[in-house]
Amino acid sequence: MISDFHPAWLPVEAFRALGSRRVQVRGEGLLLDTVRTEVAAACRRFGGAPADTGLCDVSFAVSSQADLAPEEFTYARGEGVTVVRAADPAGLLHGFFHVVRQGERAFAGDFDERHAPALPIRLVSHWDNVDVHPVMGQVERGYAGGSIFWSAGRLREDLSRVRAYARLLAAGGINAVAINNVNVHEAEAQLLTDRIGEVAALAEQFRAYGIRVHLSVTFAAPIALGGLPTADPLDERVRAWWAQATQTVYARIPDFGGYVVKADSEGQPGPSAYARSHADGANLLAEALAPFGGVVHWRAFVYNHRQDWRDRSTDRARAAYDHFTPLDGRFAPNVILQVKHGPMDFQVREPVSPLLGAMPSTPVAVEVQATQEYTGQQRHVCYLGPMWSEVLRFPFARPVAGLVQGMVTVANVGDDPFWTGHPLAQANLYAAARLGWNPALDPLALLDEWIALTFPGHDPALREALRAIMDESWQAYERYTAPLGVGFMVRPGHHYGPDVDGYEYTPWGTYHFADRDGIGVDRTRATGTGFTGQYPSPWRDAYESLADCPDELLLFFHHVPYAHVLRNGATVVQHIYDTHFAGVERVEAMILRWQQVSGLVDEAVAARIAERLAEQLRSAEEWRDQVNAYFYRKSGVPDARGRRIY
Ligand code: GCV
């Protein structure tokens, strides 16, 4: 398939190795047809041949005898033939893209491997609106243009971009997508009923690549859509309404994945209005979905967003754990508790959410944000693979990846020609998809994989430069923004650019408590909010202790004087100055590096990257100067190196 859209990590060239060979495909069904179509297109392009009979160089076969789990495939080579086998068509599709990713390596030497996804749930969550929201626009927190699904209140007529997108997601190992915003407004609510045809049309595009569609629904649907006087989860009429509505959904979309629900969060309705628990609410929907094999993703992003900043006893970081741990074991088996990776809200540095390690009797999925709401909004290069890898490897009793059933990635794509606004932001979606399949993958190796696929055959100098620019770009962003894990300091509302006190006296619960003497949030058990107590050993003690708390999270857990000496030897205030200067220098270095190689890529890509880097530098300087000036003025401590602070 050759599409008109930016090929991202599936350029034509990526199919050369496969497409120049004799390729056999055995098995029936939609996904096998997809593989056959892919093979035929690649062979037409590169001179190979589909080989249904006779000799072949590579064989893809679904075989029911194979002792393989769902989605698993074997990948072996001997006697000059590469063989991919799976027990189900989904496994074969994954095996097909594995061969594409391997390129010539798939046809050299002998090997015998098995590949299975570590996490069965690998969902990309869109925050797309049907109607353009007056504040949030077509895509909430979207930085890549309009929605690829809807435009100005209507489903797009031409869904070929959706098909191309499904193909990209499948090539990374994604198997599920939620098509609309978790904040469900009036028009979006109707997708469940009157507008289910739009969901069905999108499901048709995704189905061809083995991706099941999920829908975000409002908990108040029985009232808003059903005309009932209540949405009480224990009310028989409400149960019957959901059962009927869900049955109708499955009549249209037999492979429908399930619902995503943001309830009792940031103004969305939920079971608390009826004095019912989150378990009551989630189980209501789970019951309706169970007969069809559907699941409900129930989000744990629940906190008081109308907090009084004067009240020092309320701590937003505590909220998800406090709400949900008492309910462990009370959720139906087809409820997936969807937990943001940190206890706050996708900040550049947060500890891992303690809730991820505290729900042994509940299926849990970890939620990460590819859309760069708080990490530069796809104007800044910020490769997040290393952050997510740290989360997935974080050792509770077992690593997080061994505790969760799934990984949910908030999408970063739109109708932008490069899909993601910043062309290099594609790497985040790719890395998230691949980490969901195998959380043990090295994020730097994944970056190399993405670069090699996206820029095949290019000068090695280009690949090295991209690696140099993107590797540790997360840490670069961290250096010039909010320091030492304290978070936020962004402009309220749109969340781009610095505003140190922007959220300080607001109801959102995101404070840094800087005064003339010091900064940070005391979350200790001894003198603070007690949040450290939500962690098991050894973390509860490591975070509690000023001496043992990692520097990068110091201000998340402790309020300290500016003269406090970090483990790296600098005082807090000097560290703030140093990192803010260093962060900007790093962006300057990125720009120089890009200038050396930009002539090696397509002009439009080069221009877009150059434009974004210039904005990144402007913004980084703004962050540096505001943050440094703020702390210089508060503390009165001059920079030990005498650099210019305003
Ligand atoms: C979809 C943050 C964002 C909101 C988002 C919310 C969520 O607060 O700013 O735009 O809403 O997270 O994850 O539900």
User: Average pLDDT of 355-365?
Assistant: 98
Taking residue 118's Cβ as centre, other Cβ atoms within 10 Å add up to: 17
> What pLDDT was estimated at residue 52?
77
Length of the chain: 646
184 — alpha (psi -120 to 50), left (phi > 0) or beta? beta
Convert 548-589 into a string of H (helix), E (strand) and C (coil).
Answer: CCCHHHHHHHCCEECCCECCCCCEHHHHHHHHHHHHHHHHHH
Q: Is residue 420 predicted with pLDDT exceeding 80?
A: yes
pLDDT per residue as tens digits for the range 165-187: 999 999 999 999 999 999 999 99
136, 141, 496: residue to mutate for ligand 1 pocket, most atoms within 8 A of CB: 141
User: Average pLDDT of 156-162?
Assistant: 97
Q: Is residue 302 predicted with pLDDT exceeding 70?
A: yes
Q: Where are the alpha helices (DSSP H) in 319-404?
A: 319-324, 385-393, 400-403
- How far away, in angstroms, is 644 Cα from ligand 1 center? 37
C-alpha closest to that of 172 among 407, 459, 467, 392: 407
- What are the two backbone dihedrals, phi and then psi, of residue 361, each rounded to the nearest 5 degrees? -110, 20
> What pLDDT was estimated at residue 286?
98
> What pLDDT was estimated at residue 54?
77
- Rounded to the nearest angstrom, the gap between the alpha carbon of residue 88 and the centroid of all alpha carbons in its chain is 27
> What pLDDT was estimated at residue 1?
52
Bridge-based pairing state of the strands 150-151 and 154-155: antiparallel
Cα separation of 201 and 204, whole Å? 5
Cα separation of 244 and 246, whole Å? 5
Q: Is residue 378 predicted with pLDDT exceeding 90?
A: yes
- How far away, in angstroms, is 173 Cα from ligand 1 center? 25
> What pLDDT was estimated at residue 493?
97
Task: Provide the percentage of residues in the chain whose pLDDT is more than 70.
Answer: 100
Q: What atom of ligand 1 comes closest to residue 266's alpha carbon?
A: 14
Q: Which helix (H) or strand (E) holds 45?
A: helix 30-46
> What pLDDT was estimated at residue 476?
98
Pocket of ligand 1, beta carbon within 6 A: 127, 140-141, 181-183, 262, 301, 345, 373
Contact call for residues 464 and 150 (beta carbons, < 8 A): no
Q: Coil, strand, or helix at residue 112?
A: strand
Tokens representing 444 are 């730097």
pLDDT per residue as tens digits for the range 76-106: 999 999 999 999 999 999 999 999 999 999 9
The reply to whether 266 belongs to the active site is yes
Q: Catalytic residue among 266, 311, 459, 602, which?
A: 266
User: Average pLDDT of 560-568?
Assistant: 96
- How far away, in angstroms, is 183 Cα from ligand 1 center? 8
Contact call for residues 84 and 61 (beta carbons, < 8 A): yes
Bridge-based pairing state of the strands 22-26 and 58-62: parallel
pLDDT per residue as tens digits for the range 619-632: 999 999 999 999 99
Confidence of residue 550 (pLDDT cuts 50, 70, 90): very high
> What pLDDT was estimated at residue 172?
98
pLDDT per residue as tens digits for the range 601-611: 999 999 999 99
Q: What atom of ligand 1 comes closest to residue 369's alpha carbon?
A: 13
The reply to whether 345 belongs to the active site is yes
Rounded (to 5) percent helix, strand, coil in the chain? 40, 15, 45
